[in-house]
Structure 1
Amino acid sequence: MASVALLSLGIDIARWYRDDHQWSPEDIAQRYADMALRIVGAH
């Protein structure tokens, strides 16, 4: 289940991210890293 969730993080960003989004790529990377660590129980 965790592997599917992690794959979805990477795939689904292409569906909603736009260059004019309020978050910078760095902000998104930090949020995604935090979510990924929580998904695998490391955070």
Structure 2
Amino acid sequence: MGEWTDTLVESRIRWKVYVRFGGECLETDHSNMIRRRVLSL
């Protein structure tokens, strides 16, 4: 049960990140800034 909930939460987080990046892909400068922050973490 624990593993199933972990994967559910992980997929939900990935979906949010995907939607967020997809929605901001039009603002290239802004999305590039976010990508750099994510990569530097």
Same fold (TM over 0.5): no
Structure with the bigger RCO (C-alpha within 8 Å, sep 6+) is 1
Q: Could you tell me the TM-score, scaled by structure 2's length?
A: 0.43
Which structure has the larger Rg over C-alpha atoms? Answer: 2
Q: Could you tell me the TM-score, scaled by structure 1's length?
A: 0.42
Instruction: Indicate the structure with greater helix content.
Output: 2
